[in-house]
A and B are shown apart, each in its own frame.
Chain A
């Protein structure tokens, strides 16, 4: 049974968490994630979940406690944003290397400094090489759907990795949105019972975890993490197909929007994809063959799918809501250019950095990007790295 409801992104995440009813949640509040912890605490206080809620004293301890709980054999979660994710940086790497299927929403917020509470993706991008799977969500519906699917992906025997579910701070987390939620029983059955294989509380088979791993084994263990990431691509697609059976909404690694006959395209994550799609519709009415590619999965990065989707496109703009300070563009730009390098020599790929610290992305900004792409397609030479909505 499906119900249409009006919820904010944070409420949608908390609702999904309630339906999953995890064994342990260890979390620390931070804007704009705070509501998730607050709402979930009320579920615990009112007996609506069986979860042991550990109100830790920091995000470092949040991920540490989640690691302890998951290693012990529990289905464990945390949630955070920005500085909180930065503080748990060390433990995220350890969670993935210990192959613990911890699911954690990250409500994307700019990293300090200067301190800022609004949306950008610098927090998530800081952990792109940590070995966690990263899903991105355009709106509250996708955040809800991604969170439910995340458990199946994380706990799959071929994967066993933490999954970070990203949604845009304030834009998605605090804005009221209409979405379709599934009934509790359907979610419970879809997610299934968690059955860990090797865990600390298995009294008959004690285990040592987190051992010192030197030059004779470390390299192989690191390689196994990459293998798990490779396997995750198939698993994410399978889970997406199964999710379609209960929800009518299918998910893959990327979403293609008017790409089949597109001459130029923008690639963009999370809520800005909505702005891009709207702009795309308007320009299509004017006869421009424009398209949008929205990666749903950033780790593992869908290189092959992007390459395939863009094979007939002449010019591509990668929109990054984060800076690398490499002086050669944002993080996704580097990934996409890498993916397209083998495709053919004449595809032009440019970068637009936008929306840092919550700066609005306007329809006019995306229009400018499409117009630039047309100019590039027609042979004009423009800057490789550009800034949108910046006062210079």
Chain B
């Protein structure tokens, strides 16, 4: 395991000059994943339409020191499949001699929703690629609309907290489990706050032969409405409240990577975020309760899948 000091010396593949917001998780996540590639290896980054793409490649500029391709919103999986197929063909013919890795990034819109079919196809076909979902829990690039990754109760512009309906009514889709169900060699869920865990997972994903999937919770200051310097704290609360459990599925074996020592109620994660502000008004207690129940239910199911005793942390 590389130390933070060592990692800071690895040449960056996504460099300064991009226009991501202050306090956005995308830049941190992307750099951390790319750092896991061996220095002498090359990489082609694929990217779905979204914040990462529009903020890093405004023509005639680019913030990428490696090859990068964006083609559309719903097809990062298929596009990177084509790049990887070309690599196989050209390597076989001796036209490309260097080692290349292939990593596609998409937001939750491009991954959970519009790009799910393309991603599923790419995973099933077994391309030697890594797909990274930068999950910020809504369509942030178009102005914070709900996605299937948006949690219950969140106030978005298409699930607004109104007089009758208090934000999004449905729980999140469990995409990491869906990807694991493809029986790919590696699927994992990670968070920015636990950077060593994230780095290890990125390394496994990059090194494994065959398709790998990483789901990284990537907080968004505009959509979540928190103080930008608090991004890592927010990420930590998502993990400690078990809202975003850290786990991996390696060759079909489920493993929990982090177990919070005590029961931190979901309110701790919700409170610092403007998107959940309305839930703390009288009359909306039932929504917070529903979120907590959903978190606990999923936590117990996850523990069971990971072969651990299904119990909640001590209160």
Contacts and interface: CB of A to CB of B under 8 A. Distances in A.
Contacts of B35: none
Contacts of B57: 208, 210-212
A338 B60 CA distance: 37
A209 to B, nearest CB: 5
Contacts of B42: 203, 206
Given A200-B44, A200-B69, A201-B44, A54 B89 contact: no
A243 B42 CA distance: 40
Contact of A52 (B67, B79, B86, B118): B86
Contacts of A214: 58-59
Given A57-B117, A64-B75, A208 B85 contact: no
B287 to A, nearest CB: 37
A23 B90 contact: yes
Nearest to B73: A90
Given A201-B96, A210-B70, A217-B59, A52 B88 contact: yes
A73 B100 CA distance: 14
Nearest to B92: A50
Contacts of B46: 68
A213 B93 CA distance: 35
B64 A64 contact: no
A212 B82 contact: no
Residue with the highest number of chain A CB atoms closer than 10 Å, among B54, B90, B125: B90
B191 interface: no
A213 B82 contact: no
Given A52-B85, A56-B78, A68-B83, A213 B67 contact: no
Contacts of A90: 72
B22 interface: no
B313 interface: no
A67 interface: yes
B71 A201 contact: no
Interface string B56-68: 0111101011111
A98 interface: yes
A94 B96 CA distance: 25
B121 interface: yes
Contacts of A179: none
Interface in B61-115: 62, 64-72, 74-75, 77-90, 92-93, 95-96, 98, 100
A148 B173 CA distance: 47
A385 interface: no
Nearest to A57: B121
B94 to A, nearest CB: 12
B82 A66 contact: yes
Contacts of A211: 57-60, 62, 70
B240 interface: no
A98 B89 contact: no
B64 A68 contact: no
Contacts of A212: 53-54, 57-59
A330 B117 CA distance: 36
Nearest to A209: B69
Interface string A65-83: 1111111111010000000
B193 interface: no
A203 B75 CA distance: 24
Given A56-B81, A65-B82, A71 B65 contact: no
Interface in A219-271: none
Contacts of A51: 89
Bin the interface of chain B by size: 35 or more
A130 interface: no
Contacts of A62: 78
B86 A76 contact: yes
Contacts of A203: 42, 96, 98, 100
A208 B121 CA distance: 25
A288 interface: no
Nearest to A53: B85
A207 interface: yes
B82 A76 contact: yes
A69 B82 contact: yes
A64 B72 contact: yes
Contacts of B77: 61
Contact of B100 (A50, A55, A201, A208): A201
Contacts of B69: 68, 71, 200, 208-210
Nearest to A54: B85
A163 interface: no
Contacts of B83: 68-69, 71-72, 200-201
B92 A217 contact: no
A91 interface: yes
Given A61-B118, A68-B71, A208 B86 contact: no
B79 A67 contact: yes
B78 A65 contact: yes
A6 B72 CA distance: 42
Contact of A64 (B90, B93, B118): B118
B121 A61 contact: yes
Given A64-B75, A64-B79, A24 B67 contact: no
Given A68-B86, A214-B58, A217-B59, 18 more contacts: A50-B89, A56-B78, A57-B124, A64-B72, A64-B75, A68-B82, A68-B83, A73-B96, A74-B85, A74-B86, A200-B68, A201-B83, A206-B42, A206-B65, A207-B67, A208-B64, A211-B62, A212-B54
Interface of A: 23-24, 26, 50-52, 54-58, 60-62, 64-74, 76, 90-91, 94, 98, 200-203, 206-214, 217
8 contacts: A24-B82, A65-B78, A74-B90, A94-B72, A201-B86, A201-B87, A207-B68, A210-B69
Closest 10 CB pairs of A and B: A68-B82, A65-B82, A57-B121, A74-B86, A61-B78, A72-B86, A64-B78, A210-B70, A208-B62, A64-B75
